[in-house]
């Protein structure tokens, strides 16, 4: 059983929805700019890796916005899992351009595999343990 997502004070939730919603809109703009810039100045590695980063950023802000604007506890619990899982996705997405564009080669691909394996493991962990074992979550984040 997943622990219920704790409620925040109403004012804090409103501010969370506004700021995270703004982050969502800005991340869509950033994704667009990243892909356009990568298309003009880079190669396929740039386009794919920047797209992965941009999509992970959009996903994080979307998950957080939806979580904070939802009042129904059952849906809120599901969105809390989505919100926490999106953090792992963003961490791996943030490493992706660095590993596939800047490092590449055996080291880049090896680290890419490790980072994404940890992210996928963290997401699976969060699906079953959101609200529990916060120390383990923090270790996987790092």
DSSP states along 22-34: HHHHHHHHHHHHH
pTM of the entire predicted model: 0.88
Q: Give tens-digit pLDDT for 61-102.
A: 999 999 999 999 999 999 999 999 999 999 999 999 999 999
* Two structure tokens written together for 10: 């109403």
Residue 88's CB: how many other CB atoms inside 10 A? 25
Domain boundary assignment for the chain? 10-141
Work out the number of other CB atoms within 10 angstroms of the CB of residue 79: 20
- Render pLDDT for 14-62 as a digit per residue (tens, 0 to 9): 999 999 999 999 999 999 999 999 999 999 999 999 999 999 999 999 9
First-last CA distance in the chain: 26
User: What gap in Å lies between CA 95 and CA 49, rounded to an integer?
Assistant: 9
Count of H helices and E strands in the chain? 5, 0
């Amino acid at each position: 059983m997943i622990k219920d997502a704790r409620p925040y004070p109403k004012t804090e939730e409103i501010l969370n929805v506004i700021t995270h919603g703004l982050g969502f809109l800005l991340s869509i703009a950033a994704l667009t700019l990243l892909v356009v810039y990568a298309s003009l100045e880079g190669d396929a590695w740039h386009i794919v890796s920047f797209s992965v980063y941009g999509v992970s950023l959009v996903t994080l802000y979307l998950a957080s916005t939806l979580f904070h604007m939802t009042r129904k506890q059952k849906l809120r619990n599901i969105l809390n899992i989505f919100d926490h899982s999106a953090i792992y996705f963003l961490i791996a997405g943030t490493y992706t351009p660095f590993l596939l564009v800047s490092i590449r080669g055996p080291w880049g691909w090896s680290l890419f595999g490790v980072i994404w394996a940890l992210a996928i493991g963290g997401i699976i962990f969060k699906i079953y343990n959101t609200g529990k074992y916060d120390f383990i979550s923090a270790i996987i984040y790092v």
